[in-house]
Structure 1
Amino acid sequence: MKLRQLLTCALVALASFSSHLVAAPLDRVAVQVNDGIILQSEIDSMVNTVKQNAKAQGQSLPSDSALKTQVTERLIITTLQMQMADRMGLQIGDLQLDQMIGNIAQEQKMTVSEMRKAIEQDGTSFATYREQLRQEVTLGEVQRIQVRRRIQVSPQEVSSLVEMIEQQGMQNSEFHIGHILIEVPSNPSSAQMEASKERADKTLELLNDGADFKRTAIAASGGPKALEGGDWGYMNVNEMPTLFAELMTGVKKGDILGPIKTGAGFHIVKIFDVRGRETQELTEVHTRHILLKPSPILSEERAKEMLESFMKQVNDGSADFADLAKQYSEDPGSAIKGGDLGWADPTIYVPAFKDNIELLQPGQYSKPFRSSHGWHVLQLIERRTTDATDQMNNDRAYQLIFRRKYNEELNAWLNEIRGEAYIEVIDPMQRRG
């Protein structure tokens, strides 16, 4: 389990704990967030879960006070986003949730029943798992809706990035980044700025002397990944926030960079690892097919029988596949071309069509099969592997720029909604800074 999963597990525990609040006479309000509250029991439960999971994976943690500060901040941010979801009327229904759970189980090569049993064996009720997943999806949707509209990617940005990719070959490397932010107050005085700089220098000194980076990040960082130990995971240089990207030239595993001063404070960056990226190649297929669509006039059985008859004629040489496609196929785009679909990435096709392509060698025909479009027979004419770097660079450059801006805008948006909210920490020990 990665450290970033500690918070997820803690949120699961909170959902279970909330059903027993009435039986907890010593519970009290710890934070007021607009017209909502965060209970002390929620903070304590999350802290305990983080500790348990850290112990299980051998991760050291900072003091209880530092950990509680990070947990409280995360709960405030989560509460603000869930309040916004309520105002937007954003709800994840049970049917949508069931479909997501089914997809997760399928990805893990399990049935839903098997996945449920595994979850319950880990000590979490399936109902709690469902509600925690519902919250995760809700948060993701709120962020997507609010942040996406803040982002614009110009053609000039895309072309510039494509040129950089081609010139520097930076797409061949990914960097595992750790980050610590020593914050400064808004409109800081000279003394406040100097105090933050001294904290940053001291933090860097401790790290250079061998202090655990993740533990230090949890204790000291004001960055968005603090509770995950400052771990941003693997990123291509073009996916990173601009601050990180500008530091990557010539770095190697284990390097610690900083402090770097920005308006937000002083940044310390560690390179946990560097790895290469695979060459961008694309396997394309050249296929042709005949499609029959069942209807009140054409039954499922009759459509399959007709295709079997067509293939018998093709195999014994009494009919030509292209002629049959022109006469009978109900795919107007390809029928006029004898069923020819041209060269394409097989992943663009529906699963049943793609899966049947994978079963064939060049020149072979499939047996009749059903897809979401109807009944097909297809022929794989040829396969080829192409260098897709040029073809994919524009699309990839757009996505990389978008992801970089998304990370930056998400952090800015979260800071905005927190700054606009009414937040009162009832227990002074829970206040930040």
Structure 2
Amino acid sequence: MRKFGLILFILLTTLTFVKAQKRTLDKIAGVVGSGIILQSDIESQYAQFLVQGNQPNPSIKCYILQQLLTQKLLAQQAVIDSVTVKDDEVDAEVDRRMRSMVARAGGEERLEGFLGRSIIQYKDEIRPEIKEQKIAEKMRQKITEKVNVTPYDIKKYFDAIPKDSLRTYNKEVEIGAISISPTLTAAEKKFVKEKVESLRARVKAGEDFGNLARLYSQDPGSAAEGGDLGFGDRSGYVKEFSAQAFKLKAGEISPVFETDYGFHFLQVIERRGEQVHVRHILIKPDITQASLDRAKAKIDSVYTLLSGNKKIDFSSAAAFYSDDKETKFNGGMMLNADNVQARTTYIPTDKLDPQVALVVDTMKVGSLSKPQLFSAQDGKKSYKILFLKSKTDAHKANLAQDLPKIKDLAYEDKLNRSVSEWFEKKRKETYVKIDPEFMSCPQLKIWTSANPTAQAK
């Protein structure tokens, strides 16, 4: 709660500063071609930087101005090249940002108090800026859309790396998993559902919802707060929860319903547009020995099928049998959680779940592990069969072992060089003016050096 209060204090003081800035005589911090960047534009983005929980750092304003100069240059070229964005793309981004700000502030009313104007007014104010950002992003994509790397490019990039600068890759493995989770029968769930029904009846009879949540709810994130989840939108909840939360009026209590987490009932406290403030009580069913036995029998049969039937491979078996939604449609292969964007299946062994690492350590490439019971951090249990697809010892980067990774690095390097070359050419052709206050920023030297049209005011 102290951290939350600090965030609110920062939000209030920074937004107050920006409003004061706009009431005073604003000044031009930079000019790019026909685009003007005001000091208040920089202060506004710096305020957002602080609201996100970052420590005060005035030098960040140099980086902000650099980004705004870049954005202006891209947006102006987009007009020439007829690059546009659809209104619904802009609206979606505006709504996404507002949802984040509302959640941080603790509701629309509080945020409007901090902003000193309505949400609708603020959305109208930030929409042009966000539209320009989206256009600049699209223009950057156009500049790089034809960039690709050939085998020659990859080798040239790798050969240019000094040998003493080659990165060392840790020992890595590619692991597949088929996971079978224990499921309860209706009869096994009945006791838990009846318990939740009895708690709901007590609330309906007049007992305090918050006290019951603190005593009985098994949601570690909200029980101590009386079940209060604060404001959220549909994307923040699982579909069964959203279905209940967004069809009730303020004060109404939902029936008991089930999600992957257990049995709940909730109460809507307040509804504001596409944001709803709710509290809930959650009771998680205990996994029974019978349910574990059923899961064990099922995974044993899958293991027997894989071991004795060459007509089905691991990938197909994972898609058909596995309960793990994150891997079953990826051939059962686990992804490197530290590099999700690249969707790489190469995982350093020091990043593996210790339970998985212990099993994999004794496996040979191409082999299956016997079914074993695993426990997740949240306490959920499941039986897994592991498949070791590949194992690479720690080594210096080389083309034979690391071609996919070096290809990605070579592509990223070529991408950056293409953008840099484009900017270098456009900067020399474009009028640039920067306020003397920012001329000492190292990031901005490239905007004025070797540019006959660039100057300080």
| Superposition TM-score, scaled by structure 1 size | 0.39
* Structure 2 length-normalised TM: 0.38
